[in-house]
Structure 1
Amino acid sequence: MEFFVEWGYAGLFVLSFLAATVLPVGSEPLLLLMLTQGFKPMWCLVSATIGNTLGGATSYYIGHLGKWEWIEKYLKIKQEKILSFQHRIESYGVWVALLTWLPLIGDPIAIALGFFRITWWKVVIFMFIGKMLRYYLLIFSYEISGL
């Protein structure tokens, strides 16, 4: 974690990017650690949101490629998991992208949005909004806690 702190906002960007792929890492502990060390909340919000959105967009692109072998082999996500989101995506469309910040199901949702060919730029906008709100609420909670 200290490695990413030494990189500052760029470190938060990179870890947030990785967290939005299927790697089992979270960016929230680093964000909170950086806030305790005096990093500016606004720049933490920007770095984390953009990094996490680009990571989610990468997962979307992998789904858009539609290669089950790659998804199952490299991402360890079964075809059934992606197909389980089909009804929700058909019902709610791009709005589902607001949920890509959620742990455990966010990455499969992003992949499913790509697989089912939901318009990429709309997905990225909704993904950005959802991820930004999550980081904003985390920063806001930290700020009002007085830590």
Structure 2
Amino acid sequence: MSESQSLLALFVSGFISATLLPGGSEALLAWQLSQQLHDPWNLWAAVTAGNALGGILTFLMGLILARFYPLRNLNKPRQQQAQRWIERYGALALLFSWLPLIGDPLCLMAGWLKTRLLPSLLLITVGKAIRYLIIVGLI
């Protein structure tokens, strides 16, 4: 696989993993790192960019939902937890947008609750970048 194909695959995997769809970006990154065919920092940048953009898309979906559907009482535990985190910590909670199960609802809820755009996008990106830095450092 060429480097451009590897980077594209990681970008797409990272993007899909950050939306409400399941994905395996960590496994793909770990496998590509283990093959030692490409620069680890290029792999990190590609998967981080895809994952951050996916989180940002989920945030924007929350903004769109807020326009048409005012926030009501939520009945799903993960949504309720995400709402509590955003209401308590604001955009800072988005540093944890990389967490499984709660990360996607955090991004969606932050958009729905209309947290400040630029800090939110920056914190989504930083949180996801740190996650992949840890993986790059462990392999």
Provide TM-score, normalisation by structure 2. Answer: 0.85
Instruction: Give a deviation string over 1:28-81, Cα, whole Å, max 9, x none.
Output: 0100111122221100110011110000001111111116x99xxxxxxx9434
Residue identity opposite 1:22 in structure 2:
L
Structure 2 residue 104 is the aligned partner of structure 1 residue 107: yes
Q: Aligned partners of 1:52, 1:36: CA distance in 2, in Å?
A: 20
Partner of 1:22: 20
Matched, 1:95 2:92: yes
Partner of 1:125: 122
Listed as ranges, the gaps of 5+ residues in structure 1 are: 71-77, 143-147
User: Which one-letter code corresponds to 2:8 in the other structure?
Assistant: A
Q: CA deviation at 1:6?
A: 8.2
Mapping for residues 70-89 of structure 1, pairs under 5 Å: 79-81=74-76, 82-89=79-86
Cα displacement string for residues 112-134 of structure 1 (whole angstroms, at most 9, x for unaligned residues): 00000001211110011111111
Give every structure 1 segment of 4 or more consecutive aligned residues whose post-TM-superposition deviation is greater than 6 Å.
none
Any idea what SS the aligned residue of 2:75 has?
helix
Task: State the superposition RMSD in angstroms.
Answer: 2.4
Structure 2 residue aligned with 1:31: 29
Shift in alpha-carbon separation, 1:46–1:27, aligned structure 2, 3 A: same
Provide the rounded CA distance (Å) in 1 between the counterparts of 2:117 and 2:26: 26
The one-letter code matched in structure 1 to 2:25 is: S
Number of residue pairs matched? 132
> For residues 80 and 54 of structure 1, what CA distance do their matches in structure 2 show?
28
Match for residue 11 of structure 1? Answer: 9
Name 2:50's counterpart in structure 1.
51
CA distance in 2, matches of 1:42, 1:48: 10
Structure 1 residue 84: Cα displacement: 3.6
The answer to whether the 8 Å contact 1:83/1:112 transfers is: no
